Structure 1
């Protein structure tokens, strides 16, 4: 038997979750799997955000909208200049 234990309380608002968990054969294993997936998804999300940011920066550099760093935006063509805020907005769409 495991030595590491925690106790979880469920309010009336979450009674449906408590009842659902009671239907599982191994609640500990089920919860560990959910938490592990959550941890991995958080890292996956961060990796995806970084990849998207790099791709956007590469495209902007290729189009000569920004210089070698994202903070050096070319302001000569203000209609097509994309700011860091624009990049963040694009990233938030994913």
Structure 2
């Protein structure tokens, strides 16, 4: 269980809590690139990368054309804001 409130900026969450949060969202960690996570929903898939200064999300398999979309979220955003933006899909 995550101990800091959802309104807390991501940069205030220790890495183990961020990883636990990603697991709770249904993400799976890439074992060869530990900063990368994968999540699949009914209408899209995404790779989430915990970069140095931001969280990068690359959505793929969004449609038959195979289009991709990449978004970046600063760690200064609250966990709830990032969760709402990332996991609502592209």
Which protein shows a greater Rg? 1
Q: TM-score, length-normalised on structure 2?
A: 0.29
Give the structure, 1 or 2, with the largest relative contact order (CA under 8 Å, sep 6 or more).
2
Q: TM-score, length-normalised on structure 1?
A: 0.28
